Every structure is written in C-alpha cells, then in structure tokens.
Structure 1
C-alpha cells in the first residue's frame, strides 16, 4: 500500500485555524508542499495552527520543517469538528543558526481527522513553519 503525505492541499488538507496571519506568509503555505514558502507568526506565544484532513487518516510518521521553534506540542482529533484534541507529543527542538529545523516524529500508527500544532516557545520573537508532512494511509470507512 502506498504511503501518502496527507498534509498537502492537493490531498484535500486545509489549514482551518492559525493564530496569526501575514498576507505575505499565509498559513496555506504550510500545506503547499514547498520548503521555500512558509507561514510566520506575528508575535507572542503560544501560537498554533490546525490542519484538517476532511477524512480519517492513519498516520505513521510526522515531519515538520520550521525555523526558530523551541518547544512544540502536537495534538490529534478524531472528531468531525476540530474538538476533543488528545496529546501526542511535546518536544524541545534543536536550533542551528541559519538552518531549517527538520523534526521527525515516529509513532505507533494513529488515526486523525485534525492535527493541532502548538508552538509553546521560540528562540526569537517570530518563527516560521515551512512544511508539515503526515505520512500514512487513508482509512476506509
């Protein structure tokens, strides 16, 4: 069975919530599949964004590409609406000057219809999120 990246607009994913918005760097950039584009926060922390899959997916690996993120929490929801989130992981990320942070999270496979990413703290005033990759398979319902 072919593994799919569900965090792509071409796969039907949507960023349905982002706590900050800059018209030059919109949240939709997270799911466009390109590392060169990004969403940027506009100040205080925590900041968060929610990705909706519009169907139940089984995720085996999550990858985030970001810059200046210090502490990240990831939560999942199986609800039709973005409610009842459950904690998946919280991690302090490493930072190297001038390098994109690429963090992979491997889990026992889990089901989700929504993922919430909460940036609890940062190494600077602003952070950028370039891509989220959620690898897995579609759930047959």
Structure 2
C-alpha cells in the first residue's frame, strides 16, 4: 500500500476554506501528526487534495481533533469541479487526544479528494494528517 497523500509524492492541498500562517493547509499532507491545519471557525470547512496522478483509493485515514461530521467527495478530472459523493462519516468525540478515522472506499480512481467538515464538537477543528491508501506498489 502506498500513501499517495504525502507531499513528498507530489500531492498538494489545492484549496482550503481557511488558513492560518502558523497552521497552513499543507500540514495535512506532510505526514506528521504534530503539525496541523486549523479552521477559523464556522461550518462547513473544506479542503481539496490533488494527487500527482490518477490514484485508485482503497482507504482514507483522517487524524483530526473536534471534527464531528465529515463528507468526502472525489473527481477524476484535472480541474476541481464536478465532484461526486463518496461517503460520509460521523466522528466520535475524543476529548484530549486525536481522532483517527479510517474510511474504506471502493478503490475507484481519483485525481482529487474533497473533504467537507460539516460540523464540529467546537467552533474550531484541526486536521493533523490525511493518509490515502491505494493498491499500487
């Protein structure tokens, strides 16, 4: 299994609805749970990850804090429009430590994944790492 979301493999965060210089969206894909992207309050919040090439996605793991409901969409084109629904997840509240949610997907190809946080357990949420597993070796 390859983690295609890592910036070292060419993945990029091409859109985020909020940004803080101390906690930029790029922290989501640096592979380090000690760094993170933080929302600036209000919902929904979203970010889009673009892969270096079309990628068969079998599972996504999201390490976050205070995320209550997460909606995931994908597309297979080079631009960031016309996404299709993939799945949604209700995340368990984990006071004082990171949430780690692995979401199994169907292995279909994607060039972009859009993550929409529709609600949180607080006004602010953070995403520490997104890990995308695919079947290519």
Above 0.5 in TM-score?
yes
2:130 aligned with 1:132, yes or no?
A: yes
Superposed, which structure 2 residues align to 1:11-90 within 5 Å? 11-90=9-88
Contact map agreement 2:70 2:118 (CA 8 A) in 1: yes
- Stretches of 4+ aligned residues off by more than 3 angstroms: none
Q: Over aligned residue pairs, what C-alpha RMSD do you find? A: 1.2
| CA-CA distance at 1:4 after TM superposition | 0.8
| CA-CA distance at 1:96 after TM superposition | 1.7
Contact map agreement 2:9 2:52 (CA 8 A) in 1: no
- Structure 2 counterpart SS, 1:116: strand
State the TM-score, normalized to the length of structure 1. Answer: 0.94
| CA-CA distance at 1:137 after TM superposition | 4.0
User: Which residue does 1:112 correspond to in 2?
Assistant: 110
State the TM-score, normalized to the length of structure 2. Answer: 0.96
Unaligned runs of 5+ in 1: none
Corresponding residue pairs, total: 137
Unaligned runs of 5+ in 2: none
